[in-house]
Amino acid sequence: MDLTRRDFLKASSSGALAGTALGTLTAVGASLAPAVAQAQQLRIEHAKATPSVCPYCSVGCATLVHTVEGKIVNIEGDPRSPHNEGTLCPKGAAIYQLHVNPNRPTKVLHRAPGATEWEVWDLERAVSRVAELVKKTRDETFVERLENGKLVNNTTAIFSLGGATLDCEWNHAQQKLMRGLGVVAIENQARI
């Protein structure tokens, strides 16, 4: 393609992408497809691709996880998947930050009733405290039979709320635990 200095300057000053190299090239009719394809290829050239599944909802879109020396460098939709065909919704497209995210809390923080400061707890202590409170609440509120004699074996004092990042296995175990305790209010965004 012949591009004069005048053409270049004219294109640089007009259009939605005015002032950008990309805008200039697009405005003068240059096809970016080969460059984009090459950039896509280079991005994952030396990476190992491992098939996986998006954990966020029960649609279960297939993904490819790219790793270099054991570290995740990219996650994208798997084009071989018959139901998502390489695409991911905005939430799924952000799975990378589920794994690689310096802003994720990595410690348990506990703020006692009335306290103004958070205290760092180790995980074992926190889990033991949760188990202690669940048992206490369940024991204090468990109803075996209603007044009319109907057997219910439940507690309505505990509610289980699951997030979309809980996977099938976790939800299966969670259901078994909650049902075993007599909890009937169980919700999960993933609806698994």
Positions in the binding site for ligand SF4 (CB under 6 A): 54, 56-57, 59-61, 84, 88-89, 91-92
Give whichever of 92 and 162 is closer to ligand SF4, judged by the CB atom.
Answer: 92
CA angle centred on 110, ends 107 and 113, rounded to 5°: 175
Q: How many CA atoms lie within 13 A of 59 on its CB side?
A: 17
Give whichever of 91 and 176 is closer to ligand SF4, judged by the CB atom.
Answer: 91
CB of 103 to ligand SF4, least distance (A): 20
Return the residue matching tokens 């075996």. Answer: 144
Point out the residue whose Cβ comes nearest to ligand SF4. 92
- Dihedral of CA atoms 73, 63, 86, 74 in degrees, nearest 10, equals -10
Give whichever of 92 and 182 is closer to ligand SF4, judged by the CB atom.
Answer: 92
Give whichever of 49 and 89 is closer to ligand SF4, judged by the CB atom.
Answer: 89
Tokens at 79, concatenated: 């084009």
Tokens at 69, concatenated: 């020396």
CB of 119 to ligand SF4, least distance (A): 34
